[in-house]
């Protein structure tokens, strides 16, 4: 069962990004945009948690480690 906190995000992910795997992160749970720049040359990329179940689990585990 999906926790209520994550239900809307997970349903959105299932509707738009789930196939046989997560099409956003390839099931890694992280989206790496390092190296991305604006047209003006400002670096804006970073590593983000994906909205897929893997990304949610990694985010929760990282938050638990920080407590």
Listed by start position, the domains of the chain span 4-66
Q: Is the pTM of this model over 0.75?
A: no
36-62 tens-digit pLDDT: 999 999 999 999 999 888 998 999 899
What pLDDT was estimated at residue 3? 66
CA dist 33 and 26 (Å) reads 14
**Three-state DSSP state, 9:** helix
């Amino acid at each position: 069962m999906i926790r209520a906190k994550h239900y809307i995000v997970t349903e959105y992910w299932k509707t738009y990004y789930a196939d046989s795997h997560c099409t956003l992160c390839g099931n890694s749970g992280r989206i790496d945009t390092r190296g991305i720049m604006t047209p003006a040359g400002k670096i804006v990329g970073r590593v983000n948690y994906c909205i897929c179940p893997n990304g949610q689990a990694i985010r929760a585990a990282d938050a638990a480690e920080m407590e």
